[in-house]
Chain A
Amino acid sequence: MASLTDPFEGIFDNRRRLAASVVVLLALAVVPFTTTPYITDIVFTGLVFVMLGVSWNLIAGYAGQISLGHHAFFGLGAFVSAWLTTPARANLPEAIQSPALLAIAVGALVAGLLALVLGPILFRLTGHYFAIGTLAVAAIIQLVLLDQRRFSGGSTGYYVQNNLGDSATFLLMLAATVLVVLVTYAIVNSRSGLGMRAIHDDEDAASSLGVNPLRYKMIAFVVSAAMAGLAGGFYAQFTLYVNPDSTLGVPWMVDTLVVVVLGGMGTMVGPLVGAGLFLSLDTVLRETAGEFATTIEGALIIIFIIFVPGGLYKLLSDRYGSDDAVEGDATAEQAE
C-alpha cells in the first residue's frame, strides 16, 4: 500500500467505508432543504471545523510544526472574499466586485500567498519559537486590521453581500470540504507526505538523509493556509458578516486545536471524527453549560492530551480492531 504512484489508492478499497461516506455526504447535502436554518447553521459550522482541522493537522500533525496562527489565514480569507463581493463598504473600487465563488477562491489564494511569503521567515524558527512567532504574526495582522477601520469596519464589523443564497453556499462548502479532505489525503500519501512525517519524527535525521525540511514545511504551511483561507471565505459568504475581533480572533485557533486533539493528531480520520464530536459537544454545551462552555472545552483539551493522547480515533480503532487502521501510519511503516 506504499502508494506513491496512486495517491488515492486505499481510500476506496473498503466498500463499507465508501458506502458510509456516500450516505453521510448525501445526508449532509439535504440538510439545508429538509431542516431548519438553525440546524443548517450548525452543520455549516461543522464543515468549517472539518476544513480547519484537516488543514491544521497537515502542518501540525504531519509536518510537526505547531502553528498557532491558523486563525489569521482563516480571517484573511474571510476578509478578502468580503472585500471582493462587497467592495463599496471598504471604499474599494467597484471594478473589483466579483462573484462569490471567485471571491472565495481568491481569499484562499491570498491566504496561501501570505503563507508563501511568511514561511521562509517563520521557518527560521523551530519548536516553541515557531509556535509563538506564528501567534505574534497573527496578532499583528489582527491589530492592523482593527486599526484600519476603513477596510475592516473596525469593531462594528463589516456586512457582506452576495448573490449565492444560503443553500447554494452550503452545497458549495460541502463540495469544497470533500475536496480539501481528498487533496490532504493525496498529499499525505505522496512523497511530500513521507517527507513531512520524516521531519516530524526527527528533522536532523531526515535532513541528513537528503530530505529538505524547508521544502516540505513550506508545502504543508502554504497548502494548510490556503485551506484555512478557503474555509474563511466560505464562512464570510455564508454568515454575511465579518469582524476583525471575532473573524480574526484566537477562538478559531482554539476550535481548530480542539477538533484535532479530540479526533487525533496526525491521522486522516482524526479531524473528521473530532469535528463531529466537537460540534455536538459545542452545541450541547452552549445549551446546557452556557458561559462555562469555553472553560469545559479548555479542560477537555488538557484531559485528552493526558489521558487520550491519540485522540478519539485511536481510542476507537484500538478497541474495535482496525481492519482499516490509520492509513497514514500504515503507509509510513511500509515505506521505511
Chain B
Amino acid sequence: MVATDLLVESVLNGLLLGGIYAVAALGLSLVFGIMDIVNLAHGHMLMVGAYVAIVLFTALGLTPIVGMVVAFAVLFVLGMALQRVVLERVVGEGMEQPIIVLFGLALILESLGRIVVGSDAQATEIGIPGDAISIAGATLSFPRVVTFVLSIALILGTWAFLKYTTTGLAIRATAQNSSAAQYMGVDTDNIYVLTLGIGTGLAGAAGALLSMLFPITPYVGWSYLLKAFAVVVLGGVGSVAGTLVGGLILGVSENVGVLYLGGGFRDIISFGIFVLVLLVRPHGLFGSSGGGE
C-alpha cells in the first residue's frame, strides 16, 4: 500500500502537470471546435515548441519563460502559414484529406526533428531555479508550480480573448455558424487562419512548459497528440473550462496510476482513459454531438 502523503503529493503534482495538458489540449480543442479539423500534427508542433525553448536556453541562456513566448510566436506563424498554404486547399473536400495532410505534416516535423537534434532525448536541465514548496506535508517542485501558474495564465488569457475582444467574438460566431458570420461581415477565411495560429501557438507554449519537466525527443509527438485529444474528449470540444478540468483529471490519473503501476504505464493510463471515455460517451464526457463528422 502506498503511503498517504505520497498519494497526496502525487495528486498535487498531477494537478500541476494537468495544467500543461490543458494548455496543449486547448489549442487542439479550439481548432477542432471552430474548424472541425483534428490537427494530427498538434503533438509534433508541441515537440517543436519544446525544442525552441530548449535551444534558446542552451544557446542563449534565456529562461524558459521567454522560451515559451517565443515558442508560441513561432508556432503561431507556422500554424497560420499551414492554413493559408495547405489546409485552405483541402478543407471541404471530405474528411480524409485534412487528416492525411496533417499526418504528412507530423511525419515531416518528426523527421526534421530527428535530423536537427538527433534521436536522443534532450536532457533538460533547463528550468527555473527555486526551492521546493511544501503544502500540507507534500513537497511540490518549484518548476512545476511555475509551469502551472503559466498554464493557468495562458488558459485565462485565451478565454478572455475569446470572450471580450471583437476578434474573439468573430471567432465564436464563425464556430457557431460560419455562413451567418460571413453575412455579418466576418472574414471567415482570416478567422480560420487566426484560429489555427492560436491553436498551434498554444501547442508550442505547452511544449516549452513540458520541456522543463520531461525529457523531449523527436518521437514524443504522437504521445502528446493522444494525451491532448484525451483531454479534449474529457472536457468537451471547444469548452475552455471543460478543457481545464479534463487536463487536471488526466494529470492526476496519470500520476496516481504511475504511483501504483510504475512509470512504464504513464502513457498506457492516459490512452486507456481516452478509449474508455470514448466508449461511454462517443462525443466526449461533456461534449455535444457537434463536430467530428
Question: Which residues of A pack against B, CB within 8 Å?
Answer: 60, 64, 66, 68, 121, 124-129, 131-133, 135-137, 139-140, 143-144, 146-147, 250, 254, 257, 261, 265, 291-292, 294-295, 297-302, 305-306, 309
Contact = CB atoms under 8 A, between A and B. Distances in A.
B100 A291 contact: no
18 contacts: A64-B96, A124-B282, A125-B282, A126-B293, A135-B222, A136-B274, A143-B271, A146-B264, A147-B265, A254-B103, A261-B100, A292-B111, A294-B111, A295-B107, A295-B111, A301-B104, A302-B101, A302-B108
Point out which of B112, B222, B283 has the most chain A C-beta atoms below 10 A from its C-beta: B222
Q: Binding site of B, secondary structure by majority: helix, strand, loop or mixed? A: helix
A129 B275 contact: no
Contacts of B233: 129
A56 B234 CA distance: 30
A140 B268 contact: yes
A68 B108 contact: no
Contacts of A295: 107-108, 111-112, 115
A132 B38 contact: yes
B131 interface: no
B100 A305 contact: yes
A298 B32 contact: no
Given A128-B38, A128-B99, A136 B226 contact: yes
Interface string B189-226: 00000000000000000000000000000000011011
B249 to A, nearest CB: 17
Contacts of B66: none
A292 B115 contact: yes
A124 B278 contact: yes
Contacts of A294: 107-108, 110-111, 114
Contacts of A121: 279
A299 B226 CA distance: 23
A297 B110 CA distance: 12
Contacts of B274: 136
Interface in B86-140: 86, 89-90, 93, 95-97, 99-101, 103-108, 110-112, 114-115
